[in-house]
């Protein structure tokens, strides 16, 4: 599971640099512009991954703590 | 029937709806600002060397805005301190955070007037468009968050959900600003 997630994250990060999908930002302009486009693609993917991962991580952490405090089968008053 | 055995089972949530909703909202806000910053960075990189800011357009006041930045960061620290190791929030610190935040908005407004007087408008150049779009969107968030801070100070916020939203939005405004400051003003 972890390795799948890592591979997916790496593929996404690399795709940002390779795609040059936007003809205005990616292919037009000078080399500095293309470099900025790649860097910003990676930044946007990174922010999205960190954001979603952070929220999921927090929920998982809380769920783990929650189950540690109240073992399965216990009735909450 | 016995009162204890007849009590229905209650589910306890791992994370409150308010906190989860606020986190998802702030994530979308972060993506909004990331998109705008990305557009600015690519546009600036595509300019010819020495052509930013464009000819006839003023430089953005990086040094002067330091004071605003310090005021905003201190404001965030005050809000953090208002809840630090204390069951009840310290209202004096919330009001200090509000005053510092309001000072930031007022100083930003003054800066806008000065820049407009120097010819930097939304339509005058690309730098003007990006500056007013990004800083204006941040300012709008700051004004809304200030309203919530004032409500916190006046103890008008009684639900835990709105309390989380008020804190979360202000921390977002404070944390997003240094990034905007460096990317837009430099």
- Give the DSSP H or E segment for B179: helix B160-180
ipTM above 0.90, yes or no: no
**pLDDT exceeds 90 at position B2:** no
* The pLDDT value given to residue A12: 67
> Which of B15, B31, B41 has the CB atom closest to A36's CB atom?
B41
Indicate yes or no: CB of B41 within 8 angstroms of CB of A39.
Answer: yes
Q: Is the dihedral of CA B117, B129, B63, B32 positive or negative?
A: positive
pTM of the predicted protein model: 0.83
Alpha-carbon Rg for chain A in angstroms: 20
Contacts of A44 in chain B (CB under 8 A): 31, 34-35, 38
B35 Cβ contact list (under 8 Å, min separation 6):
A44
Q: Rounded CA gap, A30 and B48, in Å?
A: 9
* The pLDDT value given to residue B8: 62
Q: Rounded CA gap, A28 and A36, in Å?
A: 12
* The pLDDT value given to residue A46: 93
State whether residue A16 sits within 8 Å of chain B by CB. Answer: no
**pLDDT exceeds 60 at position A25:** no
Contact assessment for residue A27 and residue A6, using Cβ atoms and an 8 Å cutoff: no
* The pLDDT value given to residue B143: 97
* The pLDDT value given to residue B98: 96
Indicate yes or no: CB of A47 within 8 angstroms of CB of B42.
Answer: no
Q: What is the mean pLDDT of residues B146-154?
A: 93
Q: How many CA atoms lie within 13 A of B117 on its CB side?
A: 6
Tokens of B17: 């709806």
Q: In this predicted model, what pLDDT tens digit does every residue of B85-140 receive, in sequence order? A: 777 778 899 999 999 999 999 999 999 999 999 999 988 888 999 999 999 999 99
Q: In this predicted model, what pLDDT tens digit does every residue of B3-59 receive, in sequence order? A: 555 566 666 788 899 999 999 999 999 999 999 999 999 889 888 888 888 888 899
The more confident residue out of A14 and B44 is: B44
Q: In this predicted model, what pLDDT tens digit does every residue of A27-71 receive, in sequence order? A: 556 788 888 888 888 899 999 999 999 999 999 999 998 888 765
Q: What is the mean pLDDT of residues B167-183?
A: 96
Task: Return the C-alpha torsion angle B3, A70, A64, A68, nearest 10.
Answer: 170
Q: What is the DSSP letter of B154?
A: T
- Give the DSSP H or E segment for B22: helix B17-45
**pLDDT exceeds 70 at position A73:** no
């Amino acid at each position: 599971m972890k390795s799948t997630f890592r591979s997916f994250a790496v593929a996404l990060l690399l795709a940002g640099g390779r795609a040059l999908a936007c003809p205005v930002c990616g292919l037009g302009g000078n080399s500095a512009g293309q470099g900025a486009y790649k860097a910003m693609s990676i930044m946007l993917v990174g922010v999205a991954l960190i954001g979603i991962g952070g929220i999921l991580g927090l929920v998982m952490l809380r769920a783990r703590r929650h189950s540690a405090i109240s073992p399965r089968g216990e009735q909450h008053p | 029937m016995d009162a204890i055995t007849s009590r229905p089972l209650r589910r306890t949530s791992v994370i409150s709806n308010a906190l989860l909703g606020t986190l998802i909202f702030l994530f979308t806000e972060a993506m909004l600002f990331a998109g705008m910053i990305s557009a600015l960075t690519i546009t600036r990189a595509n300019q010819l060397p020495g052509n930013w800011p464009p000819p006839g357009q003023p430089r953005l006041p990086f040094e002067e805005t330091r004071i605003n930045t310090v005021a905003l960061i201190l404001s965030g620290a005050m809000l953090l301190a208002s809840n630090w190791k204390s069951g009840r929030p310290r209202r004096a610190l919330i009001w200090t955070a509000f005053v510092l935040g309001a000072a930031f908005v007022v100083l930003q407004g003054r800066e806008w007037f000065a820049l407009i007087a120097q010819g930097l408008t939304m339509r005058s150049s690309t730098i003007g468009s990006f500056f007013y779009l990004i800083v204006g969107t941040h300012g709008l968030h700051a004004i809304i968050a200030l309203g919530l801070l004032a409500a916190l100070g006046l103890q008008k916020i009684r639900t835990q959900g709105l309390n989380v939203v008020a804190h979360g939005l202000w921390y977002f405004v404070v944390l997003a600003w240094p990034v905007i400051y460096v990317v837009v003003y430099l």
